[in-house]
C-alpha cells in the first residue's frame, strides 16, 4: 500500500500540471450548520475536476518505453479529460475510448486537451473492453480511473493542501465512486493527523462502499441510479477497498433530492458551479448525515464542476422544488367567465408569481361544466408554500400538488 511519502513524491510531480486549488471559509454553511465549514474548491482545478492529479502522477511514473508507447483509458467523464491533458503535458500520446453517446461537450473537451478519442460501445463497460483491446494491440499502458496506487497517491495531494491551509481541520468529507480520491486523501490526512476524521459520501442509488464495509467484503451492485454521474459506480476498487477499510472513519449516503438542494445552494450562495458528485460532501454536511459538534471544523471536498447544462437545468428545478421555491399545482374551476380571475386574486394576495398556466376545458378528467387548471409558480420558501396552499383550500379549492 502507498503511504505518506508516496503522496509527497506525487506532489512534486503534479504541481506543474495541476493547480493548487483554494480552500475557502463559508459564512453561509457555517451559519446553517453551526460548524466551521471550509470548502476545498477542486471545481477550479484544470479540466474542472481533481482527476488530472492522479493521471499526472501515473503518467510521470511510466518507464521510457511505456511513455513512448502511449496510454489508453476508457471514461465518459472527468477522467477522460484528466488523462488527456496530463498525457499531452508529459509529451505522451493518449487514446481515450468514450461511449458512443457520451455528451458532445465532453468529447470535444477531451479532444481539445490533445487525446485521440475513440467513440465505441453503448456504455462504460463496452468502452472499457475496447480500451483493453487497444492496450494489448498497441502495447499502451492502461490508466485506471481509481484502482491504481499512483493514481491514488496523486489524488492524495488534495489532502496535503487541506492540512496546510486548514491545520485545525477535524473532519474531511469526500465523495466516493471507485474510491481513488478518498483513498489518497485519507492516506495523507491519517499519516499527519490521525485524529482528523475522514467521512466518505455516496449517492443512495450507488452505495457500494457503504454496503461493502457493512458486509466486510467488496460487493458489486446490480445497477446504479443517481444524478451524480461521477460517482455512479457499481463497486469500489480491489486496490482502493483496503484503504477505505483502514483509513475511512465513516461512509454515509445522500439522496438525489439532497444533492440537488446542495447544488442550488452552491450556485446561489457561493456562486460556484458543482456537478452532482462534487456536491455530495456538502449535501451530507447540510443534511447532517454524520454527527458533528458545534464549531467543528469541517472541509467538504467539492471534487468537480463538469455538469451537462441539460442535467443542470433538471437539478436546479429539483433543488427549487425541494427548497419550496417552485410549485406546480392542479385545481378545478367551474367553466364560467371570471372563475380564473377569482382564483388569481388569491395568487395576487399571497404574491405567488406565475411561471406558466395551462387552462384546459377539454380534459377528460373533469365534468363538462368544469375546467382544469395547471399552474407553475415561483415561491419564496416552504412557509410561503404552506400559507398559500392553506389560503386556496380555505377558499374552497381542491388543490393537487404536482411537484
Ligand X SMILES: Cc1ncc(COP(=O)(O)O)c(C=O)c1O
DSSP string, 293-343: -TT-EEEEEE-B----HHHHHHHHHHHHHHTTSEEEEEEEEESSTTHHHHH
Q: How far apart are CA 233 and CA 146, in angstroms?
A: 11
Residue 118 forms beta bridges with which residues? 97
Question: Does position 241 bind ligand X by CB under 6 A?
Answer: no
Contacts of residue 80, defined as CB under 8 A and 6 or more positions apart, other chains included, come to: 73, 96, 98, 106, 110, 115, 117
**Span interacting with ligand X, options 9-17, 104-112, 174-182, 263-271, rule CB under 6 A:** 174-182
Told to check if 146 binds ligand X by CB under 6 A, we report: yes
Tell me: does residue 281 bind ligand X (CB under 6 A). no
Question: Which range in 90-98, 173-181, 354-362, 377-385 contacts ligand X by CB under 6 A?
Answer: 173-181
- Regarding 278 and contact with ligand X (CB under 6 A), the answer is yes
Contact status: 121 vs ligand X (CB under 6 A):
no
Sheet containing 297-302: which strands, arranged edge to edge?
23-25, 36-41, 297-302, 171-175, 197-203, 250-254
Interface residue with ligand X, options 230, 281, 300, 319 (CB under 6 A): 230
Torsion of CA 4, 144, 258, 251, to 10 degrees: -50
The interface with ligand X within residues 345-364 (CB under 6 A) comprises: none
Binder of ligand X out of 18, 56, 303, 371 (CB under 6 A): 303
The answer to the question of residue 156 lying near ligand X (CB under 6 A) is no
Tell whether residue 103 is a contact of ligand X (CB under 6 A).
no
Among 179, 281, 300, 319, binds ligand X (CB under 6 A): 179
CB of 54 to ligand X, least distance (A): 8
> Cα separation of 259 and 359, whole Å?
34
Nearer to ligand X, 182 or 189 (CB): 182
Q: Does position 77 bind ligand X by CB under 6 A?
A: yes
CA-to-CA dists, residue 346 to 127, 352, 391, 401, angstroms: 56, 9, 7, 16
Number of residues that bind ligand X (CB under 6 A): 20
Nearer to ligand X (CB atom), residue 211 or residue 372: 211
Among 156, 300, 304, 319, interactor with ligand X by CB under 6 A: 304
C-alpha span between 364 and 62 (Å, rounded): 68
List the one residue out of 115, 6, 13, 25 whose CA is nearest residue 71.
Answer: 115
Residue closer to ligand X, measured from CB, 156 or 175: 175
Least CB distance from residue 9 to ligand X, whole Å? 19
Among 231, 279, 299, 327, binds ligand X (CB under 6 A): 231
**77-85, 260-268, 281-289, 365-373 -> range binding ligand X (CB under 6 A):** 77-85
Q: Least separation, in Å, of the C-beta of 361 and ligand X?
A: 48
Using CB under 6 A as the binding rule, whether residue 180 contacts ligand X is answered as yes
For the four alpha carbons of 277, 155, 221 and 133, in that order, the dihedral sign comes to positive
Segment interacting with ligand X (CB under 6 A) among 176-184, 217-225, 247-255, 263-271: 176-184
176 contributes a contact to ligand X by CB under 6 A:
yes
Q: Is the dihedral of CA 375, 381, 382, 387 positive or negative?
A: negative
Kindly tell me the burial class for residue 355, based on how many C-beta atoms sit within 10 Å of its own C-beta (0-12, 13-18, 19 or more).
exposed
Of positions 23, 37, 41, 49, contacts ligand X by CB under 6 A? 49
If DSSP states are collapsed to H, E and C, what string results for 359-400?
A: EECCCCCCCCCEEEEEEEEECCCHHHHHHHHHHHHHCCCCEE
Q: Can residue 175 be called a binding residue for ligand X (CB under 6 A)?
A: yes
Member of 36, 161, 258, 275 binding ligand X (CB under 6 A): 275
- Contact residues toward ligand X (CB under 6 A) are 49, 77-79, 146, 175-182, 230-231, 275, 277-278, 303-304
Amino acid at each position: 500500500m502507498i503511504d505518506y511519502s508516496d503522496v509527497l513524491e506525487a506532489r512534486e510531480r503534479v504541481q506543474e500540471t495541476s493547480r493548487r486549488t483554494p480552500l475557502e471559509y463559508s459564512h453561509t454553511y457555517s451559519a446553517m450548520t453551526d460548524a466551521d465549514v471550509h470548502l476545498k474548491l477542486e471545481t477550479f482545478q484544470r479540466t474542472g475536476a481533481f482527476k488530472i492529479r492522479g493521471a499526472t502522477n501515473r503518467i510521470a511514473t511510466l518507464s521510457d518505453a511505456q511513455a513512448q508507447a502511449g496510454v489508453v483509458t476508457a471514461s465518459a467523464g472527468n477522467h477522460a479529460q484528466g488523462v488527456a491533458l496530463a498525457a499531452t503535458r508529459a509529451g505522451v500520446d493518449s487514446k481515450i475510448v468514450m461511449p458512443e453517446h457520451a455528451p458532445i461537450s465532453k468529447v470535444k473537451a477531451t479532444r481539445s486537451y490533445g487525446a485521440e478519442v475513440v467513440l465505441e460501445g453503448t456504455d462504460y463497460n463496452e468502452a472499457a473492453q475496447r480500451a483493453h483491446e487497444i492496450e494489448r494491440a498497441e502495447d499502451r499502458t492502461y490508466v485506471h480511473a481509481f484502482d491504481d496506487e499512483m493514481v491514488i497517491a496523486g489524488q492524495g495531494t488534495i489532502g496535503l493542501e487541506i492540512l496546510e491551509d486548514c491545520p485545525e481541520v477535524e473532519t474531511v468529507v469526500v465523495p466516493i465512486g471507485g474510491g481513488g480520491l478518498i483513498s489518497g486523501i485519507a492516506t495523507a490526512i491519517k499519516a499527519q493527523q490521525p485524529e482528523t476524521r475522514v467521512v466518505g459520501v455516496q449517492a443512495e442509488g450507488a452505495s457500494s462502499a457503504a454496503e461493502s464495509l457493512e458486509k466486510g467484503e467488496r460487493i458489486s451492485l446490480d445497477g446504479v441510479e443517481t444524478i451524480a454521474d461521477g460517482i455512479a459506480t457499481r463497486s469500489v476498487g480491489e486496490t482502493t477497498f483496503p484503504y477505505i477499510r483502514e483509513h475511512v472513519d465513516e461512509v454515509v449516503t445522500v439522496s438525489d433530492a439532497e444533492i440537488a438542494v446542495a447544488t442550488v445552494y452552491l450556485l446561489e450562495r457561493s456562486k460556484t458551479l458543482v456537478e452532482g458528485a462534487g456536491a455530495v460532501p456538502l449535501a451530507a454536511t447540510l443534511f447532517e448525515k454524520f454527527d458533528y459538534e458545534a464549531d467543528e471544523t469541517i472541509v467538504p471536498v467539492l471534487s468537480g464542476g463538469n455538469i451537462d447544462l441539460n442535467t443542470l437545468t433538471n437539478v436546479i428545478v429539483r433543488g427549487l422544488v425541494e427548497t419550496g421555491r417552485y410549485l406546480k399545482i392542479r385545481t378545478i374551476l367551474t367553466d364560467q367567465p371570471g372563475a380564473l380571475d377569482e382564483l388569481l386574486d388569491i395568487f395576487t394576495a399571497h404574491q405567488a408569481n406565475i411561471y406558466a398556466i395551462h387552462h384546459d376545458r377539454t380534459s377528460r378528467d373533469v365534468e363538462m361544466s368544469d375546467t382544469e387548471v395547471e399552474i407553475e409558480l415561483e415561491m419564496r420558501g416552504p412557509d410561503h408554500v404552506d400559507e398559500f396552499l392553506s389560503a386556496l383550500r380555505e377558499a374552497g379549492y381542491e388543490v393537487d400538488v404536482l411537484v
